[in-house]
């Protein structure tokens, strides 16, 4: 199976990525991200962990029903209940996959308290059970890179004999290094009977910053599936970033002659969307998708770029979906110009959606001279909905050099206007205190993050606010040229989302909360 030069891209943004504390996505957001992944050519989408919660089960089932081309995979621990539940969710897909795993390293074996022989039997039984339900079964020895070599070979052989079609070798704690990563896959393929009949996958975490290098090295060693997430989202330092491995394989095809099915021009859009819905902003200097990845500030660099762009660029911005010649819109631009511009950016909006964006665009253009692509993206993705219980009607903040600052606010709560005045240590604190006075709640602020969408003092600020209430987490976002207004709207947006979650009583899940004792 390593003969082919095609590398399958397995995206786990919706499972391993969403597992990252605070990155919880709503049902609709998961469907939207899955559709974008499918459209960009991802081969396998790991859509969730169906046993973990009702919400996860529903999202995986719905994604399975809607998937066009991608294989839809769900995660299951090594027990029949998990595997059955996983199958119930993925079976709707044209191409379903069950992914079952167990921790095989000494530290992980201690969790379910199984000795080596008992675990070997468990692997045989659960992979056989999964394979009786589904033709496409992936098996992972969690913490493979810290598992004894002989035991790793033994368990991989059992899984292959029991019918696994993909063997994933996770570097669960981001411990391996490129030479070792290539060597491990190569030796497994050379040693384990039946290895030639399955696909080997690599699943790297980024604790030492080597996830991309380790994944590419694993491919050199014979792996033909890379597991990754958009923006490298994931627990701790995250997973391998999809955009990095895909662009590395494309740009350095001369020394890594492998192909993927990914339409790289869709990278930027999905990266921004994942950053928005997860509330995990992309660092400015992040490879491929960072704001500065294609920015050339210094005189020497700009001079070189004008003469020949290859002086300082190894890939074209267009290749990752950044439009090279972005002409801004202004307050005289009409609906047709807006539609054309959004079309160029890859948005195909229905008439009513375009009308909503047009109203927001006019409002912004009145306050901001030039409206750039990034501004428009922020407008398209403004996520307050007509059904929201809480809405900001007006806000006036008085700031003095000595403080305290005062916020006068009118908010609509379930259709009725409520007015208050509150003070605080700074304009944002005063504003949040006003929201709390109007709508008292026990939710705790976990994260408050501001970033400028474009340059200039009239730039829009995007604000992310993450709130937690009894284990439920919600992230709210908003953009405005006024940072305090954007903060108020993002805070209210997060509260609205928490209210929806409270009503649906759909707690976000944490895989650590799902006990291995159930195995
Ligand atoms: O990192 C890991 O080991 C995992 C497994 C569940 C594959 O995410
Ligand atoms: Zn992982």
Q: Are residues 23 and 160 in the same domain?
A: yes
Task: Convert the pLDDT of each residue in 192-222 to its tens digit.
Answer: 999 999 999 999 999 999 999 999 999 999 9
In the predicted model, is pLDDT for residue 295 greater than 80? Answer: no
Are 496 and 467 in contact, with CB atoms under 8 Å apart? no
Q: Are residues 230 and 155 in the same domain?
A: yes
Comparing CA positions, the residue from 90, 25, 81 lying closest to residue 51 is 81
User: Does some domain include residue 285?
Assistant: no
User: Does some domain include residue 431?
Assistant: yes
Q: How far apart are alpha carbons 145 and 176 in whole angstroms? A: 6
The CA 286 to ligand 2 mean position distance, Å, reads 21
Q: Are residues 474 and 421 in the same domain?
A: yes
Q: Are residues 139 and 50 in the same domain?
A: yes
The CA 103 to ligand 1 mean position distance, Å, reads 9
Q: Is 73 in the pocket of ligand 1 (CB under 6 A)?
A: no
User: Does some domain include residue 74?
Assistant: yes
User: Does some domain include residue 210?
Assistant: yes
Are 341 and 330 in contact, with CB atoms under 8 Å apart? no
Question: Residue 303: which pLDDT band, with cuts at 50, 70 and 90?
Answer: low
Q: Is 272 in the pocket of ligand 1 (CB under 6 A)?
A: no
Contacts of 136 (CB under 8 A, 6+ apart): 71, 95, 96, 97, 98, 165, 166
- The closest residue, in CA terms, to atom 5 on ligand 1 is 142
Most informative mutation of 123, 170, 227 for ligand 1 (most atoms within 8 A of CB): 170
Q: Are residues 363 and 399 in the same domain?
A: no
Task: Convert the pLDDT of each residue in 40-60 to its tens digit.
Answer: 999 999 999 999 999 999 999
Q: Is 172 in the pocket of ligand 1 (CB under 6 A)?
A: yes
In the predicted model, is pLDDT for residue 518 greater than 50? Answer: no
Whole-structure pTM value: 0.82
In the predicted model, is pLDDT for residue 371 greater than 80? Answer: yes
Q: Is 146 in the pocket of ligand 1 (CB under 6 A)?
A: no
Q: Are residues 374 and 417 in the same domain?
A: no
Task: Convert the pLDDT of each residue in 321-360 to its tens digit.
Answer: 986 545 678 888 888 889 888 887 777 788 888 998 999 8
Last residue of a domain, one of 381, 399, 419: 381
Give the pLDDT score at 510. Answer: 37
Least confident among 148-162, 248-262, 290-304 = 290-304
User: Does some domain include residue 286?
Assistant: no
Name the closest ligand to CA 235: 2
Axis crossing angle, helix 351-367 with helix 373-380, rounded to the nearest 10: 130
CA dihedral 97, 244, 478, 341 (to 10 degrees): -100
Q: Is 140 in the pocket of ligand 1 (CB under 6 A)?
A: yes
Q: How far apart are alpha carbons 497 and 27 in whole angstroms? A: 11
In the predicted model, is pLDDT for residue 3 greater than 80? Answer: no
Q: Are residues 70 and 92 in the same domain?
A: yes
Task: Convert the pLDDT of each residue in 6-27 to its tens digit.
Answer: 999 999 999 999 988 778 788 9
Q: Are residues 397 and 262 in the same domain?
A: no
Q: Are residues 374 and 430 in the same domain?
A: no
Q: Is 142 in the pocket of ligand 1 (CB under 6 A)?
A: yes
Give the pLDDT score at 508. Answer: 40
The CA 175 to ligand 2 mean position distance, Å, reads 12
Q: How far apart are alpha carbons 424 and 299 in whole angstroms? A: 44
Q: 331 is written with which tokens?
A: 């307050």
- Burial annotation 275-306 (CB, 10 A radius, 16+ → b, else e): bbbbbbbbeeebebbebebbebeeeeeeebee
Q: Any alpha helices (H) in 279-334, and if so which ranges?
A: 299-307
Sign (positive or negative) of CA dihedral 162, 167, 171, 176: positive
The CA 67 to ligand 1 mean position distance, Å, reads 23
Give the pLDDT score at 124. Answer: 98
* Residue 341 burial (CB count, 10 A): 20
Contacts of 77 (CB under 8 A, 6+ apart): 51, 100, 101, 102, 514, 516, 518, 519
User: Does some domain include residue 283?
Assistant: no
The CA 232 to ligand 1 mean position distance, Å, reads 14
Q: Are residues 377 and 470 in the same domain?
A: no
User: Does some domain include residue 175?
Assistant: yes
DSSP 8-state class, residue 273: H
Question: Residue 506: which pLDDT band, with cuts at 50, 70 and 90?
Answer: very low
User: Does some domain include residue 39?
Assistant: yes
- Containing structural domain, residue 62: 8-278
| Residue 235 Cα: closest atom of ligand 1 | 1
What is the three-class DSSP state of 420? strand
Last residue of a domain, one of 278, 311, 341: 278
Question: Residue 393: which pLDDT band, with cuts at 50, 70 and 90?
Answer: very high
Q: How far apart are alpha carbons 275 and 112 in whole angstroms? A: 35
Q: How far apart are alpha carbons 484 and 405 in whole angstroms? A: 12
Neighbours of ion ligand 2 (CB under 5 A): 16
Number of structural domains (the chain) is 4
Q: Are residues 338 and 448 in the same domain?
A: no
In the predicted model, is pLDDT for residue 309 greater than 70? Answer: no
% residues pLDDT > 90 (the chain): 65
Task: Convert the pLDDT of each residue in 74-95 to its tens digit.
Answer: 999 999 999 999 999 999 999 9
Q: Are residues 474 and 339 in the same domain?
A: no
Are 42 and 260 in contact, with CB atoms under 8 Å apart? no
CA dihedral 129, 9, 35, 233 (to 10 degrees): 100
Q: Is 228 in the pocket of ligand 1 (CB under 6 A)?
A: no
Phi, psi of 482 (to 5 degrees): -100, 115
Alpha-carbon distances of 326 from 323, 329, 361, 363, rounded to whole Å: 6, 9, 17, 21
Give the pLDDT score at 218. Answer: 98
């Amino acid at each position: 199976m390593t003969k082919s030069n095609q590398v399958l891209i397995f995206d786990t943004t919706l499972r391993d990525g969403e597992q990252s504390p605070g990155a919880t996505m709503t049902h609709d957001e998961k469907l939207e991200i899955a559709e974008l992944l499918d459209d960009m050519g991802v081969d396998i989408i790991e859509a969730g962990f169906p046993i973990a919660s009702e919400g996860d089960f529903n999202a995986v089932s719905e994604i399975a029903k809607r998937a066009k081309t991608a294989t839809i995979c769900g995660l299951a621990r090594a027990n029949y209940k998990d595997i059955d539940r996983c199958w119930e969710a993925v079976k709707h897909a044209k191409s379903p996959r069950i992914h079952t795993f167990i921790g095989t390293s000494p530290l992980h074996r201690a969790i379910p308290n199984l000795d080596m022989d008992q675990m070997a039997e468990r692997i045989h039984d659960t992979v056989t059970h999964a394979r009786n339900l589904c033709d496409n079964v992936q098996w992972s020895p969690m913490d493979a890179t810290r598992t004894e070599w002989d035991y790793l070979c033994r368990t991989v052989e059992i899984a292959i004999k029991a019918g696994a079609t993909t063997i994933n070798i996770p570097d669960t704690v981001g411990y391996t290094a490129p030479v070792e990563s290539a060597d491990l896959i190569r030796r497994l393929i050379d040693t384990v009977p039946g290895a030639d009949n399955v696909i080997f996958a690599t699943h790297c975490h980024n604790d030492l910053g080597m996830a991309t290098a380790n994944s590419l090295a694993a491919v050199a060693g014979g792996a033909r599936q890379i597991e990754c997430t958009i923006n490298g989202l994931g627990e701790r330092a995250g997973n391998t970033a999809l955009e990095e491995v895909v662009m590395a394989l494309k740009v350095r095809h001369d020394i890594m002659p492998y192909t993927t099915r990914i339409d790289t021009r869709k990278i930027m859009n999905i990266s921004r969307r994942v950053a928005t819905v997860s509330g995990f902003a992309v660092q400015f200097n992040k490879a491929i998708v960072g704001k500065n990845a294609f920015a050339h500030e210094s005189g020497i660099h700009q001079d070189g770029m004008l003469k020949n762009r290859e002086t300082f660029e190894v890939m074209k911005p267009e290749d990752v979906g950044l439009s090279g010649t972005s002409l801004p819109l202004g307050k005289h631009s009409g609906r047709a110009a807006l539609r054309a511009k959004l079309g160029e950016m890859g948005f195909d909006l229905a008439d009513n959606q375009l009308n909503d964006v047009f109203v927001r665009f006019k409002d912004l253009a009145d306050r901001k001279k030039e409206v750039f692509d990034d501004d428009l993206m922020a407008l398209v993705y403004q996520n307050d909905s007509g059904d929201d219980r809480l809405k900001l009607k007006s806000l006036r903040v008085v700031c003095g050099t000595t403080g305290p600052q005062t916020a006068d606010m009118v908010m609509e709560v379930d259709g009725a206007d409520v007015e208050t005045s509150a003070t605080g240590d700074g304009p944002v604190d005063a504003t949040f205190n006003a929201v709390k006075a109007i709508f008292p709640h026990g939710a705790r602020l976990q994260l408050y993050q501001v970033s400028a969408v474009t340059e200039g003092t009239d730039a829009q600020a995007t604000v992310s606010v993450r709130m937690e209430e009894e284990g439920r987490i919600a992230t709210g976002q908003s953009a405005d040229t006024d940072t305090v207004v954007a903060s108020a709207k993002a805070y209210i947006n997060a509260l609205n989302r928490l209210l929806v979650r409270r009503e649906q009583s759909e707690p976000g899940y944490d895989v650590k909360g799902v006990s291995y004792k159930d195995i």
